[in-house]
Chains A and B, each alone.
Chain A
């Protein structure tokens, strides 16, 4: 292990990274200022708390995905994973009346799906976007079949605190977000495993030659991504107090957009978990602003699609200039 510790990976402390981060914060501030001028509602306490709550949810899904994209992979199955994990957790809560059992099942289901993705990508060597895309459709099929068009609703008040509660006036999911931001950032920047993930994304061949267990780290990132989707599903359940076959489906594209806008390169090896938080905030402010300006929600996938393309275009340009 002494060899692997020497891998030079980008650190957050680099001034270039700080500047990149500042640009993004500036973008959020500018966008917020514009929305504050256009809408009276934007700067109300209620709306700000709502934006934070939504940011927390998007960040949880996007944080695991960040690790996947750092290895130059992609996980398209997170939205469908949220749906299946959420529906299973909801039935378990209904059946047993024990929210903790539901929490356990939701996170376990998400983790197992992530593990399956990891196995498909490493053992079967299927390109990640194809493997997780197939997984997405399989999960969607299973979830719709399982739910049969039904809705499960009405969860215990204690469980609902997880999504809709407040602690010192701040929504509970925000605390969960801060917790996972700290864990994620420490893991990526300060542990050997985290550095190995950067190394795999930057140059998988070099990483393998320097003794990084590439397959095991890849399985790890997909499993973490799945587990985070499972956790996110619980927060959604607790917030909307119901489960349907399509919950979380519409969050896959915004989560990918949040990671890419947050400065993580689609080509792997560079980016930060903290950047993803800014990306999630930016995406949420955009979607929230569209809601407040009463733009039909049908425009949201279109806007998200354009944001993704712009973010990747900037990424490819920056890389080309750097070469």
Chain B
């Protein structure tokens, strides 16, 4: 494929998600007066940061023809461990380290089961979803963890030079993932894992090691997302993050990452995350219950996959 056709194929993808985003913004701006205010837009972007932290690694995972259904449950469990350590020891450093460690452990477990035992990703992560969800309920006995030191809140509500801290964290995460995917050998191998796994094996690359690292990256990012979520709620709840992986999958599906052909697009994921964020925010402003919002996001995903399917046939 020449550079020009490559650039063109990238541009050809823009309209779908961009049109969806602009269209939704137009609809909500017209129907609810509170939508197009600077405060609300800042709110949408800040709230989208947690989702972005999940959607970025999920894009990479799906590019390897994988899937991580456990992300929401792992985020929840990491948030609980983080909160419990913070309450128990009062040490923020220890708490954050604990949350990240939970994410990394689950990422490693997912990667190891998938790569070493050859268990298909969707069933592996369905199993670890059950494990993480069970652990969250067991250690909290179904109760919220409250009384977290106030300093944790700053990770979500604080600002640096007028920019909200979560936006800065999200920007760093995006840049890191972008460099990882488009500028390193690791990223090149991820493209190969989805497109031509056999070639990678023939070239002597350890496919198993690659897969484990990709899922560990996902776990680590879920740990960071847990930090932001705990800071936002100033508490941890055993069902708080359940289903967040669905929003992440929705975001990247809307953003044009394909499930079957394993070609991902990071900028599309970013736009997809904002689209899902705008949809949720707009429906909130229109007082649509959160249960009905899930159905709307589901419809959005099916529409996106339908369009993706039509493209695939061309």
Interface residues, chain A, with chain B CB atoms under 8 Å away = 74, 76, 120, 124-127, 129-131, 133-135, 137-138, 140-145, 148, 253, 256, 266, 296, 298-306, 308-309, 312-313, 316, 320
Asked if A306 and B243 sit within 8 Å, CB to CB, the answer is no
The smallest C-beta distance from A274 to any residue of chain B, in angstroms, reads: 22
Q: Do A134 and B120 have beta carbons less than 8 Å apart?
A: no
- Min Cβ gap B164→A in Å is 29
Contacts of A138 in B (CB 8 A): 294-295, 298-299
Please state if B128 and A305 are interface contacts (CB–CB under 8 Å): yes
Q: Contacts of B131 on A, CB cut-off 8 Å?
A: 301-302, 305-306
**Count of A-B residue pairs with CB < 8 Å:** 126
Between-chain CB contacts (< 8 Å), 10 pairs: A126-B302, A133-B246, A141-B293, A145-B291, A148-B289, A305-B126, A308-B126, A308-B130, A309-B127, A313-B113
The 9 nearest A-B residue pairs measured at CB: A305-B130, A302-B134, A141-B294, A144-B291, A298-B137, A138-B298, A141-B295, A309-B127, A301-B134
Query: Max chain B CB contacts within 10 Å: which of A120, A296, A302, A306?
Result: A302
Q: Give the residues in chain A near B160, CB-CB below 8 Å.
A: none
Residue in A closest to B312 when the chains form the complex, CB atoms? A125
**Interface residues of B, dominant DSSP:** helix
Shortest beta-carbon distance, B195 to chain A, in Å? 17
Check A316 against B118 for contact (C-beta < 8 Å).
Answer: yes
Can you add 20 more A-B contacts, CB < 8 Å, to A133-B69, A141-B298, A266-B123? A124-B305, A126-B302, A129-B122, A134-B301, A138-B298, A138-B299, A142-B292, A145-B291, A298-B141, A299-B134, A300-B134, A302-B130, A302-B133, A302-B138, A305-B131, A306-B127, A306-B130, A309-B113, A309-B119, A312-B119
Residues from chain A with a CB closer than 8 A to the CB of B74 are none
B259 proximal to A (CB < 8 A): yes
Interface SS, A side = helix
B70 to chain A: closest residue by CB: A305
Q: Does B294 lie within 8 Å of A298, measured CB to CB? A: no
Q: How far is the CA of A143 from the CA of B294 in the complex (A)?
A: 11
Q: Which residue of B lies closest to A143 (CB)?
A: B291
- Alpha-carbon gap, A302 to B137, bound state (A): 10
Nearest Cβ on chain A to B67's Cβ, whole angstroms: 7
Residue from B127, B138, B312 with most neighbouring chain A CB atoms (10 Å): B127
One digit per residue, 1 when the CB lies within 8 angstroms of any chain A CB and 0 when it does not, for chain B 89-131 equals: 0000000000000000000000001000111101110111111
Set of chain B residues within 8 Å of A266, measured between Cβ atoms: 120, 123
B182 contacts the other chain (CB 8 A) = no
Residues in B whose Cβ lies below 8 Å from that of A309: 113, 119, 123-124, 127-128
CB distance from A47 to the nearest CB of B (A): 24
**Contact present for A301 and B293 (CB under 8 Å):** no
Closest A residue, CB atoms, query B121:
A129
Question: A126-B309, A305-B131 in contact; A140/B291 too (CB < 8 A)?
Answer: yes
**A168 CA / B292 CA spacing, docked (Å):** 46
A133 to B245, CA, bound (A): 11
B130: chain A residues at CB < 8 Å are: 253, 301-302, 304-306, 308
Contact for A313 among B119, B289, B309, B312, CB less than 8 A: B119
Cα distance, A126 to B259, chains bound together (Å):
8
**Among candidates B137, B246, B291, B298, residue contacting A301 with C-beta atoms closer than 8 Å:** B137
B142 contacts partner chain A, Cβ-Cβ < 8 Å: yes
Are A316 and B259 closer than 8 Å at their CB atoms? no
B135 at the interface (CB under 8 A from A): yes
Q: Which residues of B contact A303 (CB under 8 A)?
A: 134
- Which of A74, A135, A145, A298 is the one whose CB lies under 8 Å from B298? A135
Given A124-B309, A134-B302, A299-B134, CB of A312 within 8 Å of CB of B120: yes
CB-defined contacts of B297 to chain A, threshold 8 Å: 137
Can you name the residue of chain B whose Cβ is closest to the Cβ of A304? Answer: B130
* B305 nearest in chain A by CB position: A126
Contact residues in A for B306 (Cβ distance below 8 Å): 124
Most chain B Cβ neighbours within 10 Å, of A303, A305, A320: A305
Q: Which residues of B contact A304 (CB under 8 A)?
A: 130
Q: How far is the CA of A135 from the CA of B299 in the complex (A)?
A: 9
State A304–B137 Cα separation when bound (angstroms): 14
| Residues on the B chain within 8 Å of A253, using CB | 126, 130
Among B67, B118, B126, B292: residue with most chain A CB under 10 A: B126
Q: Does B249 contact A (CB under 8 A)?
A: yes
